[in-house]
Amino acid sequence: MKDSAGDNRGGLQELLPPLTTHEAAVEAARCLMCFDAPCTHACPTHIDIPRFIKKIATGNLRGSARAILESNLLGATCARVCPVQELCEGACVLGSERKPIAIGRLQRHAMDYVYRRGIDLLQAGEATGKKVAVIGAGPAGLTCSGELAKLGHSVTLYERRALAGGLSTYGIIVLREPMEVALAEVAMVQRLGVRLETGKDVGNDPSIADLHAGFDALFLSVGLGPTPQLGIPGEEFIVDGLDYIECSKLDPSRLTVGKNVVVIGAGNTAIDCATIARRLGAERVTMVYRRSENEMTAYPHEYDFVKREGVGLWFLAQPLKVHAENGAVKALECVRVQLGATDSSGRRSPQAIAGSTIMIPADQIVKAIGQNKPSLASQLRLATEKGFIRVNADFETSVPGVFAGGDCIRARGAASTVMAVQDGKLAAHAIHQRLVNHG
């Protein structure tokens, strides 16, 4: 199936081209420079957006990038992956009658300017002698590490995988963020003096006891676990969505893409999987979701995007069984459902309609139905909330001195990179206060 006729690996280039200097200047000049701007409020990290945009308008790109980084260490990633329609651009005062300012693309323009030139705008603070271990080098962990380093603390950042960056490195499709962007941010955090240790299985080496003994504080930013089981016959033939995306980033030539791909789920990850399949040569891609359009968790603009990519959607269909012959997938058997009472997620729960079985032909089935809760929580005997690590207003867990942030605490609200960055930043400041005041 690999390298089929419709193969289009070039289709995995970053979707939006960079703004030219002129385009950026014209767009920046359009910004009204709102006072106490709603875009800044809407940004979870509260970047002073009019300030950085004004600096682009005046050709002060260095100052612009610094204004972004002051509030958001991962400005280059967020410029690309943020659901700006729901955040800054959604709140732009020009949105009501005219086009909102392209804030995300302007932010990318400023960040690319400094990264391309190797300009470091931030420095480590004067050494405090305090040591913090950060577990998990995704957006929350990277941000927390960098912010702590800026405050002068000695930070060791442990990462289970070979590369740091978390989902920015492994889980965001190249169309939205090329891997180099995430890795450049990792390198920037390392240049602040953060010691990165990859391939580390925290719990074994180092052990939890090692961490408690060796550090003044811990920050957990472990993200979520693997994709859960559907619990249907033939599940072993189903490809994991996160693995699918990861392969498309690390080694797209090794990614097997079917001609007739079914993606189970209708969240943003499912949309990413469908997009990859489509762009890497699948003739037909169908997303199957057991609820309706109204309950899907993908952002509206992502839903619009995937429809334009030519992906079909089958709503109100619950997978029952994978049909395979000689190890080759043939179809996904589903049953039609109708929506009943509201369930614990606040959404109407699907109920099977008897005798309404349908067979959706497929030669590849990918599932993207969310992720399991973090497992480290139980090892550390941390209190949880709906399976997520419970933290107080200072991001401190039930164990004193152990803080947490990012997707692993996201019991409420949608998980996103920018929320993780804000968690990391706020937690770093809370840890700093603790270390300085009670050290």
Partner 1 sequence: MADLRINFAGIRSPNPFWLASAPPTNSGLQVHRAFEAGWGGAVWKTIGAPVLNVSNRYGAWHFGSQKMLAINNVELISDRPFDVNLREIAEVKRAWPDRAVVVSAMVESKPEAWHDVIRRIQDTGADGIELNYGCPHGMSERGMGSAVGQVPEYCEQITGWVMEVAKIPVIVKLTPNISDIVMPARAAVAARANAISLINTLNSIIGVDLNTLEITPNIGGRGGHGGYAGPAVKPIALNMLAALGRDSVVHGSKLPISGMGGISTWQDAAEFLLLGASSLQVCTAVMHYGFRIIEDLCDGLSNWMDEKGFANVPDVVGRSLERVSDFKDFDLAFKAVARIDQQKCIRCDLCYVACGDTAHQCIDLIDKNGNVVPPGAYDVRSNGKADAVGARPRVVVREEDCVGCRLCFNVCPVEDCIAMVELPSGRPSVTWDELTQSQPDVTEDWNKMMAYREKMGIHIH
| Footprint of partner 1 (CB under 8 A) | 25-26, 29-30, 32-39, 41-44, 46, 57, 85-87, 90-91, 93-94, 96-97, 419, 422, 426
Q: For residues 290 and 337, is the Cβ–Cβ distance under 8 A?
A: yes
Contacts of 39 (CB under 8 A, 6+ apart): 49, 50, 88, 89, 91, 92, 101, 103
Distance of closest approach, residue 297 Cβ to partner 1, in angstroms? 15
Q: Return the residue matching tokens 């945009």.
A: 53
Closest CA to 415 of 373, 367, 384: 373
Q: Is the bond into 206 cis (omega within 30 degrees of 0)?
A: yes
Instruction: Name which of 417 and 422 has its Cβ closer to partner 1.
Output: 422
Task: Give 261's strand partners.
Answer: 285, 364
In whole angstroms, the minimum distance from the beta carbon of 118 to partner 1 comes to 21
* Residue closer to partner 1, measured from CB, 26 or 359: 26
Whichever of 49 and 335 has its CB closer to partner 1, that residue is 49
- Which of 103, 208 has the CB closer to partner 1? 103
The distance of closest approach from Cβ of residue 359 to partner 1 in the complex, given in angstroms and rounded to an integer, is 41
User: How many angstroms separate the CA atoms of 260 and 366, rounded?
Assistant: 11
Of 44 and 166, CB closest to partner 1: 44
Residue 66, SS3 per DSSP: helix
Are 331 and 362 contacting, i.e. CB atoms less than 8 angstroms apart? Answer: yes
C-alpha distance from residue 99 to each of 49, 92, 127, 158, 206 (Å): 16, 9, 47, 43, 51
Which residue, 78 or 287, is less far from partner 1 as judged by CB?
A: 78
Residue 19 vs 42, nearer CB to partner 1: 42
Shortest distance, CB of residue 388 to partner 1, whole angstroms? 16
CB 67, min distance to partner 1, A: 16
Q: Which helix (H) or strand (E) holds 320?
A: strand 317-325
> Rounded to an integer, what distance in angstroms lies between the CA atom of residue 397 and that of residue 211?
16
Could you tell me the smallest distance in angstroms from the CB atom of residue 87 to partner 1?
Answer: 6
CB 417, min distance to partner 1, A:
13
